[in-house]
Structure 1
Amino acid sequence: MERRAFRLDGFLLAAGVLVLLGAAVVSALAAAPDPGAPVRVAGVAGAVLSGLLALLLTTGFTVISPNESRVIQFFGRYIGTVEHTGFSWTVPLTTKRRISLRVRNFETAKLKVNDADGNPVEIAAVVVYKVVEPAKAAFAVDDYEEYVAIQSEAAVRHLATTHPYDSHAPDTTSLRDGTEVAAELTDELRERTALAGVQVQEARITHLAYAPEIAQAMLVRQQAAQVVAARQQIVEGAVGMVGLALSRLAEQGVVELDEERRAAMVSNLLVVLCGDRAIQPVVNTGSLYG
């Protein structure tokens, strides 16, 4: 659909228009003394034709700024796009619709959506895009800016419903995984907006929070989950340290412990390593088993 329209240098055609206007003026002045003579009639006709031709040529002029384009229509028929920056001339009697090629960005409204776990969340995203096919942007949709805005909100809603706010498994992508979620949102928006000749450069989540009615409860849940995760890591580290201590004692023959004393030592070490408060040591001044 996209194609280049016929164009010429505008200054060259402007010089031609000035020549035609000058010829029209000269012909009109030559015919003024005796308008009834045959030669004078021809001069008047030449002046009129030159003036009309000059006027016709002026309808083809257009000025294009950097990162802009003009979609050219000749009596409703699309004949091409002009993207050459500067003063140009194209087919006369055409309409020239301006389409910006600049990079644009906007932020969606804060949407309230249920995530994949059914929890109500508030989410918003910023979308960066530009027009790459002006003809599609002009004719494929009524308003490409509104089209991009609506499709962006639809894509953000779809993204929120297919991912949980927090991931509960290592292989699950959550809405808080910024890089993965941004790539997925960008790819989906590119598919949705290609129809309008728009290319999405980037899309990222800018606001993500639980809805106010459950925010406090989910905060407590998050804190509890963090405490459990921290305790799990502490226990794993403590078990490794106890195992290391017992194996080193056995390898170096420092002391021999029976099963009961070994269990007591493991219990004491775990209390010391896993406790959340400072431990007061008790020094045994008697025998090993006293």
Structure 2
Amino acid sequence: MKEKKTWHINGFVGIVLLLALAGLSAYAFFKEQPVVGVALAVVAVAMLTSISIIQPNQSSAIIFFGKYLGTVREGGFWLVTPFSTQKKISLRVRNFNSAKLKVNDIDGNPIEIAAVVVFRVVDTAKALFDVDNYEQFVEIQSETALRHVASKYPYDNLDRDGYSLRGNTEEVAAELAKELQSRLAVAGVEVIEARLTHLAYSTEIASAMLQRQQAAAIISAREKIVEGAVGMVQMAISRLERDGLTLDEERKAAMINNLMVAIVSDRSAQPVVNAGSLY
């Protein structure tokens, strides 16, 4: 099915024609011409069945005895094909908020994910006749696409390159919108935007994954601290040697050890003052 335009005229013009037919029918009965009067009355009644009022951003599909004639997209007061059935469908932009889905990412970790899909109908014939219920179709296909996209990426990339659900939300959303469009095109629906609204580990592994993230953050911070501490020790020894203070290897090792402990330790250093010996 493909949407097409159908015949329709301005409703106010149609009302004028209807009144004119009613007047001619009454005149025919007055002139004792009942056949003509009945024929004109039947035409007037047929025109009454063709009245259609369409709201802004709404369309009406015209079906005549089981045959799709076309769609009227313009809002207003219209006269369409008599004795036809009219199916109204909204053309407004709508949102669909998916439920929180429990999915396994590419590593097999259970995660919770949800998304919002912004869509609108662009082909009324496909939306009405190619699928049974296009709104339900959008819901089911949105959840299916969300599960498929979520299973292609890890939740987080801690020790490898590539996309992740948490670190590349824009890229994941763009892929989700692209897959949704390919799935919903059969229903005459255009996907305007798709965004993740919820992303988290499932409750059964949330605490373990939190500890893993904390450990990774601590390791990364320690690497930075050690790298800075080594530079500071090297600078201190170079400064002492430049000022003419020569240290033997034993004292140099002790100084390096003390400086490294003082800088790298996560607690403030407790100095020990050497007051000499009792003997």
**1:22 Cα deviation (Å)?**
1.7
Match of residue 96, structure 2, among 74, 87, 106: 106
* Distance in 1 separating the partners of 2:91 and 2:39: 39
**1:275 Cα deviation (Å)?**
1.3
Secondary structure of 1:45's partner? helix
Match of residue 66, structure 1, among 56, 81, 84: 56
Match of residue 203, structure 1, among 191, 194, 197: 194
Q: Say whether residues 1:18 and 2:19 are aligned partners.
A: yes
Structure 1 residue aligned with 2:3: 2
* Distance in 1 separating the partners of 2:244 and 2:88: 88
Report the CA distance shift for 1:26/1:243 in structure 2 as closer, same or farther (over 3 A). farther
Structure 2 residue aligned with 1:119: 109
Secondary structure of 1:14's partner? helix
Secondary structure of 2:156's partner? coil
Structure 2 residue aligned with 1:184: 175
Q: Deviations over 1:243-268 (max 9, x none)?
A: 45555666x54645555555444433
Q: Deviations over 1:68-120 (max 9, x none)?
A: 11122222222222110111122223222111111111221222121111111
Report the TM-score, using the length of structure 1 for normalisation: 0.85
Structure 1 residue aligned with 2:36: 46
- Gaps (5+ residues) in structure 1? 32-39
Structure 1 residue aligned with 2:153: 163
- Gaps (5+ residues) in structure 2? none
Confirm or deny: 8 A CA contact 2:158 2:216 kept in the other structure. no
**1:181 Cα deviation (Å)?**
1.9
1:140-289 aligned within 5 A: 140-169=130-159, 171-177=161-167, 178-246=169-237, 253=243, 255-257=245-247, 261-282=251-272
The residue type equivalent to 2:177 in the other structure is T
Q: Say how many residue pairs are matched.
A: 274
Secondary structure of 2:198's partner? strand
* Distance in 1 separating the partners of 2:190 and 2:239: 63
* Distance in 2 separating the partners of 1:69 and 1:172: 45
* Distance in 2 separating the partners of 1:188 and 1:239: 50
* Distance in 2 separating the partners of 1:23 and 1:247: 114
**1:20 Cα deviation (Å)?**
0.7
**1:157 Cα deviation (Å)?**
1.0
Report the TM-score, using the length of structure 2 for normalisation: 0.88
**1:52 Cα deviation (Å)?**
0.7
Confirm or deny: 8 A CA contact 2:3 2:124 kept in the other structure. yes
* Distance in 2 separating the partners of 1:8 and 1:14: 11
Structure 2 residue aligned with 1:88: 78
* Distance in 2 separating the partners of 1:222 and 1:19: 81
Report the CA distance shift for 1:241/1:102 in structure 2 as closer, same or farther (over 3 A). farther
Report the CA distance shift for 1:239/1:76 in structure 2 as closer, same or farther (over 3 A). farther
- Over the matched positions of the two proteins, sequence identity in percent amounts to 53
Report the CA distance shift for 1:101/1:169 in structure 2 as closer, same or farther (over 3 A). farther
* Distance in 2 separating the partners of 1:187 and 1:114: 21
Report the CA distance shift for 1:256/1:52 in structure 2 as closer, same or farther (over 3 A). farther
Report the CA distance shift for 1:73/1:273 in structure 2 as closer, same or farther (over 3 A). same
* Distance in 2 separating the partners of 1:191 and 1:248: 67
